Structure 1
Amino acid sequence: MIEVRELRVRYGGRLVADVPELDVGPGECVAIVGESGSGKSTTLLSLLGLTENAEVSGEIRVCGVDVRTASPRALRGLRGARAALVMQSPQAALSPATRLGVLMRRALKLHGRDAGEQAMARAVAAVMLDPEILRRYPHEVSGGQAQRFAIALALALGAEVILADEPTSALDVTVQAEVVALLCRLRAERGLALLLVSHDLALVSTIADRVLVMKDGAVVESGPAATVLAEPAHPYTRELLEALP
């Protein structure tokens, strides 16, 4: 579902992300970890062609679409409908003057999906939300509900790939566990490919099949999550693990 080879992202000549190889298959979760500024989010955004004003080189394929050479129309068909981006603070991306149901209906119509009341109710019910939430404004829901709504929107659009950028960092511990359990269940039930960006190694250990560790824009270690987290080979990975409470 995701195939990356020799990806390099530069801003003003400065290399901010260098990823030699990244693959994510159906039903698989790959996590990119590292401290702030290590290039994790830039890598994620580049997969949908969202690194504005950046110089991007290498091969990027998402759901079979060559992101670097695709037309604007092909990219519109990919973004949201096949590959969905779930941000760290979904409430910040939602219009405060628009009810959640209106927002979902607009997105579904834009991508030619069923925008009926029953279809929307099924989508939110799949992420354990009461359909009544569709009548609320973003400020009337909690952070955890907003995050689950963002995932519900991705499911309603038929996304095959979810790109999640720190999806639990703004949530309390209990709600974090709920969101992680939800993502795990959706992977198993729907075969979603999940690329997770996080600095939370405890979270990564519970959900990821494979891990990439980034520092200063470069991948310094990668491999099966159980191996990387239990027997880290790179000093930086060991420092990250030793920094855990």
Structure 2
Amino acid sequence: MIEVRDLRVRYGTRTVAHVPELDVGAGECVAVVGESGSGKSTTLMALLGLTEGAEVSGHVRVCGVDVLTAPERRLREIRGARVALVMQSPQAALSPTTRLGVLMRRALDLHGVDAGERAMAEAVEAVLLDPAILRRYPHEVSGGQAQRFAIALALALGAEAVLADEPTSALDVTVQAEVVGVLRRLREERGLALLLVSHDLALVSTIADRVLVMKDGEVVESGAAARVLAEPSHPYTRELLEALP
């Protein structure tokens, strides 16, 4: 679903992200971890062709589309409909004057998805929300509910891959567990490919199959999550693990 080789993102003469290799298959979860400013989110944006003003090189293929050479029209066809982006604070992207059901309907219409009210309700139920939430405004739902609504929107659009940028950092521990549980179940039941950006290694250990560790824009360590988190080989990875409370 996601295939990256020698991805480089530059602003002027400075390389802010360099990823030699990254693959995410259907039903897999790969996590990109590191401190703030390490290049995690920049890498995520590059996979969707959203690094405006940057020089991006290498090979990036998402859902069969070569992101770096495809025209903008082709990229718009896969964004949302085949690969969805779930941001850290979804409430900031939701119109405060529009009910969630209307927002979902607009997104479906925009992408040409012919889905009725039942399909919308099923997408919401899949993330363990009551369909009645579709009648609410964004300020009437909690942060965890808004995050799960964003995931439900991806499901309603038929997304095959989800790019999640710090999806639980603004949530309390209990709600974090709920969101992670939803992502894990969708990955297992629907074969969703999940690329998770996070600085929370404890969270990553519960869901990721493989991990990439980034520092100062470079991948310093990668491999199976169980190995990287239990027996890290790079000093920086060990520092991250030692910093866990």
TM-score bin (small chain): over 0.9
Q: Could you tell me which amino acid in structure 2 is paired with residue 30 of structure 1?
A: V
Counterpart in the other structure of 1:64? 64
The CA deviation at 1:231 is 0.4
Superposed displacement of residue 97, structure 1: 1.5
Question: Residue in 2 aligned with 1:170?
Answer: 170
The equivalent residue for 2:74 is 74
The 5-angstrom pairing of residues 33-182 of structure 1 reads: 33-182=33-182
Matches within 5 A, 1:203-214: 203-214=203-214
Q: Distance in 2 between matches of 1:105 and 1:60?
A: 31
User: Which blocks of at least 5 consecutive residues in structure 2 are unaligned?
Assistant: none
Cα deviation digits, residues 89-140 of structure 1 (max 9, x gap): 0001111111111110011111111242111111111111111111111111
> Percent identity among equivalent residues?
85
Supply the distance in 2 between the matched residues of 1:52 and 1:72 (Cα, whole angstroms).
Answer: 12
Which whole-Å CA distance do the structure 2 matches of 1:181 and 1:8 have between them? 33
TM-superposed CA distance for 1:193, in Å, is: 0.4
Unaligned runs of 5+ in 1: none
Matched residues in 2 for 1:7 and 1:94: separation? Answer: 31
Question: Which secondary structure does the structure 1 equivalent of 2:206 belong to?
Answer: helix
Question: Quick one: distance in 2 between partners of 1:13 and 1:145?
Answer: 42
1:69 shift after superposition: 0.8
Report the Cα distance in structure 2 between the residues aligned to 1:188 and 1:222, rounded to whole angstroms: 23
Q: Structure 1 length as normaliser, TM-score?
A: 0.99
Which residue is equivalent to 2:12? 12
Three-state SS of the structure 1 residue aligned to 2:195 is: strand
Aligned-pair Cα RMSD in Å? 0.7
Write out aligned runs for 1:25-36 (5 A).
25-36=25-36
Partner of 1:195: 195
Instruction: State the distance in 1 between where 2:113 and 2:78 align.
Output: 14
Deviation at 1:61, TM superposition (A): 0.2
Q: Secondary structure at the match of 1:122?
A: helix
3-state SS in 2 of match to 1:223: strand
CA-CA distance at 1:83 after TM superposition = 0.3
Q: How far apart, in 1, do the equivalents of 2:170 and 2:201 lie?
A: 16
